[in-house]
Amino acid sequence: MRAALSAALLLALLGAGVSQAGDGHDHDRARRALESGEILPLRTILERVGRDYPGQIMEVELERKDARWLYEIKVLRSGGALIKLEIDARDGALLGIKGPKDKGRRGEPR
C-alpha cells in the first residue's frame, strides 16, 4: 500500500503538480534533478515523514524556491491536526513546520 501511494505521489509530483508550480519545463527539471541525485526520491522523504510525523499524507508538492528544491507535505495527524512540512529536497532537512502548537515534533530538524 505504501509503495503504491509513493508511486502515485511521485507520478503526481513529476506530472501535473510540478507543472502548476511554474513553467512547462518544471516537470523535466524535476526529473533531471532526481536522476542526477540533486534531490532525494519521494520515497525516502515519505519514510522519514512517516517515522517522525505519523499520519495520513494529504498533499505533496515539489517546488523550486530561491534556487533550491523543496518538498511541501501536508500531513493529517491523529486527532485531526493538519500540519505542513517544508523539507529541503536535497538532503531531507526539515526547514519549517506549520500547524497547531502541539505538532508532535520529535527532536530537532535533521
**The residue type at 57:** I
Q: Is the domain covering 2-98 a CATH 3.30.390.30 domain?
A: no
Give the pLDDT confidence of 21-44 residue by residue, as tens digits: 455 567 788 889 999 999 999 999
Task: State the distance between the two ends of the chain, measured CA to CA, in whole angstroms.
Answer: 27
**The residue type at 42:** L
Q: Name the E strands within the chain.
A: 56-65, 68-76, 82-88, 94-98
pTM: 0.68
Give the pLDDT confidence of 79-90 residue by residue, as tens digits: 899 999 999 999
